[in-house]
C-alpha cells in the first residue's frame, strides 16, 4: 500500500471517488425534469408558434413525433442539469443563463454545420435565426435549472 503524508493512496482514491460520485443526485433529477419541461414549452412557443413559418418542415416528412420531441427536450434538460450539478456556483438565475448561453452557442453552431453539410447553398440568415433562438431557449432552461439547484441547497 502506498503511503503519502501518513495517508494511504486507497483512502485518497475513495474520498475523491465519493466526492465525484456525490453530485447531489436529487438536484440532478429534479433540475433535469424541470429543465426538460421548460425546454419543451419554450420550444413549442419559439419554434412551434413564433418561428413556425420561418422553419418549414422538410419535403416528404411525416407528422412530428411528439414523444421524440419531448424526449429530446428532456435529455437537453438533463444535460444542462448534469453540467450545473458538476460545477460550483451555478445556482442563481444569472449564473444559469451565462453557462447555458455558452453551451447553446457551441451546440447550435455544431448542429447547424452538420445539418448544412450536404447543401449547395446555405441560408446564413436562417442559420443565424436558429442559433439565436437556440440560445434564447437554452438561457431560459439554464435559468430554470439553476434556480431549482439554488432552492434545493
HSE, CB side, 13 Å, CA atoms: give it for residue 136: 14
What pLDDT is attached to residue 94?
96
Amino acid 24: pLDDT: 79
Number of H helices and number of E strands within the chain? Answer: 5, 2
Please name which of 91, 134, 145, 89 lies closest in space to residue 112, comparing C-alpha atoms: 134
Q: What is the pLDDT of residue 8?
A: 56
- State which H helix or E strand residue 152 sits in: none
- Output the pTM of the full model: 0.81
Please answer whether residues 35 and 28 qualify as being in contact, where contact means their C-beta atoms are separated by less than 8 angstroms: no
Contact 82, 125 (CB under 8 A): no
pLDDT of 21 reads: 53
pLDDT (tens, 9 = 90+) of the chain, 153 residues, equals 445 455 555 555 555 455 555 567 888 999 999 999 999 999 999 999 999 989 877 777 888 899 999 999 999 999 999 999 887 778 899 999 999 999 999 999 999 999 888 888 888 999 999 999 999 999 999 999 999 999 987
pLDDT for 119: 84
Question: Which residue, chain included where needed, has cell 443565424?
Answer: 128
Amino acid at each position: 500500500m502506498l503511503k503519502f503524508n501518513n495517508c494511504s493512496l486507497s483512502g485518497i482514491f475513495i474520498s475523491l471517488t465519493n466526492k465525484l460520485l456525490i453530485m447531489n443526485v436529487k438536484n440532478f433529477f429534479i433540475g433535469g425534469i424541470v429543465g426538460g419541461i421548460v425546454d419543451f414549452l419554450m420550444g413549442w412557443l419559439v419554434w412551434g408558434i413564433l418561428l413556425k413559418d420561418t422553419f418549414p418542415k422538410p419535403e416528404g416528412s411525416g407528422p412530428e413525433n411528439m414523444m421524440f420531441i419531448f424526449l429530446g427536450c428532456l435529455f437537453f434538460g438533463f444535460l444542462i442539469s448534469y453540467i450545473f450539478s458538476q460545477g460550483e456556483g451555478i445556482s442563481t438565475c444569472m449564473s444559469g443563463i451565462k453557462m447555458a448561453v455558452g453551451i447553446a452557442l457551441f451546440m447550435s453552431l455544431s448542429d447547424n454545420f452538420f445539418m448544412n453539410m450536404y447543401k449547395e447553398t446555405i441560408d446564413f440568415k436562417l442559420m443565424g435565426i436558429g442559433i439565436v433562438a437556440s440560445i434564447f431557449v437554452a438561457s431560459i432552461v439554464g435559468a430554470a435549472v439553476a434556480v431549482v439547484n439554488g432552492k434545493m441547497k
